[in-house]
Chains A and B, each alone.
Chain A
């Protein structure tokens, strides 16, 4: 168990987070952006559980917070995808760049 240092987990989580960040910054399709956001949330959860396991395994703060993140992610996915479908129906596009009603 102790064979794997904490920093490995943190590095994997950081890499997953930055992959997700890249997706959020550069994908055109809104659904793809939402999928990237889910990747970022997963990276956060890895961090939470890794810190918990390596430093405070007697408490429950780590997993409980991970479950809250899971809850929020589920809510975000449901509302986000509903928004995408609604926008698609109204504007016939799911390209985030085209959604600039707030421009100027």
Chain B
């Protein structure tokens, strides 16, 4: 199990690294798909197959394709010989390393959860989790309001995206 975890993590992180460093945007997008696939693998390890499927459908199936379309539509920027980084990339590197160090310190030293062993869930509860989720999402005193808000948000985003991307009428 640990070996599989390490392999999947390496896939996720290395392709993630390619996403942010590769000069060719199209290759970066492909690497992003690989990274998303790795994340889906982590979900499977966490016994949440449903989320893995959703990850495949939404991220790889939809968002990645959308990104590729955007790259192709702005194709002159797809490949450039100049650097893919802006002038503050050194500061960016320092900041993200600093943040990572902070995270790692908190995770390994400060946060007491590290020592807490896994709460064993019964197989039945894990099997029924998707059913339970569906019911909770529309339960009045649970997630009904955020659920409706999310649907309104998606609708607004769809209409907004179309309106923004429409060519201006002259």
A-side interface residues toward B, CB under 8 Å?
A: 1-12, 14-23, 25-29, 31-32, 34-36, 38-39, 42, 45-46, 49-51, 53-58, 60, 63-64, 66-68, 70-79, 81-86, 88-89, 93-97
> Could you tell me which B residues sit within 8 Å of A by CB distance?
1-2, 5, 9, 12-13, 16-17, 19-20, 25, 28-29, 32, 35-36, 39, 42-43, 45-48, 50-51, 54-55, 58-59, 62-63, 66-67, 69-71, 73-74, 77, 83-89, 91-93, 95-97, 99-100, 103-104, 107-108, 113-114, 116-119, 121, 125-126, 129, 132-133, 136-137, 143, 146, 150, 153-154, 156-158, 160-162, 164-165, 167
With A8-B5, A97-B87: A60-B46 Cβ-Cβ less than 8 Å: no
Q: Is the interface of A mostly helix, strand, loop or mixed?
A: helix
Contact B20 A31 (CB under 8 A): no
A41 to B: closest C-beta gap in Å: 9
Tell me the total A-B contact number using a CB cutoff of 8 A. Answer: 247
